[in-house]
Amino acid sequence: EEESQPSYLHLLRTKTKARQVEKALAETEEVFREKMKVIADKWGDLHTRRVQLKDHIERSGKIIQENEDIRILALRIDSEEKEVNMQKQSELLRAKMELGALRKEHWKLHKKLQKYSIFKKYLDDVVKNSQFEDIPEVTSWYELLLRTYKDLLQSQQGQKELTEQDEVLLEQYRAEKEAEILQYKSELVQLKLRFDEAQSDILLWETRWADIQNKTSKKTRKLWTIKLAIHNLFQ
């Protein structure tokens, strides 16, 4: 993603991220100082309670040694002191780790800023030698061109998909029409065969019709001869 965007945008985003990290670093340091102050206060309270307890034990002498409740209280206070110490040490270690991670991130962003600073100078020269008024106008124009380019690619992809779909439909239509043509050719062959058969039948029936007419003509002539003979005999 970083390679597909202009270096100055990386610079702006890196500066923004650096400011965020610096702010988070400052807040973390402030929280760290507050935690250290709280830990110091609790350490002081625990030390005061321990001194008071020790003084009370020393002043009590034999009575404290015989008082089991005081001994249990001392053990509990000592256990609480150890638990608080462990908890505060854990919080201190975690705060140091967070502080170290933030410092490391801050250093990485600082190096990025140095790396991309050359592109700011380049964009300053572009603004100076072009019709743009400032760098944000250049980046806005670039983002507009990038969106237009993406829309164009999307449109071309859509046109390509439509073209492929049309080609598929055309291929289907061509296949259907070729199948119909084959069917029509087959029907035409059958019709030609029937036509040839009909032509053969026509010739046969014409021959028969000629024979019938010939026989009829002969019989007619015979009939007229008989009629004429009868008429002559009658005469």
**pLDDT tens-digit profile of 151-184?**
888 888 888 888 888 888 888 888 888 888 898 8
Question: Do 81 and 50 meet the contact criterion of CB atoms below 8 Å apart?
Answer: yes
Enumerate long-range contacts of 4-7, CB under 8 Å, 24 or more apart.
6/119, 6/139, 6/142, 7/116, 7/119
- pLDDT tens for 8-52 read 666 677 777 777 777 777 777 777 777 777 777 777 777 777 777
What integer best gives the mean pLDDT of the chain? 78
In this prediction, residue 4 carries a pLDDT of 43
Query: Is residue 95 predicted with pLDDT exceeding 50?
Result: yes
Amino acid identity, residue 19?
A: R
What was the pLDDT predicted at 11? 67
Q: Does 210 score more than 80 pLDDT?
A: yes
Name the DSSP class of 2. -
Residue 23's pLDDT is 74
Give the Cα separation of 105 and 121 in Å (integer). 25
Q: Which of 53-57, 82-86, 220-224 has the lowest mean pLDDT?
A: 53-57
Three-state helix/strand/coil letters over 120-167: HHHHHHHHHCCCCCCHHHHHHHHHHHHHHHHHHHHHHHHHHHHHHHHH
Round to whole Å and give the CA distance between 105 and 113.
Answer: 12
Question: 227: pLDDT confidence band, cut at 50, 70 and 90?
Answer: confident
Closest by alpha carbon to 99, among 26, 17, 18? Answer: 26
Residue in 92, 99, 79, 101 with CA at minimum distance from that of residue 37: 92
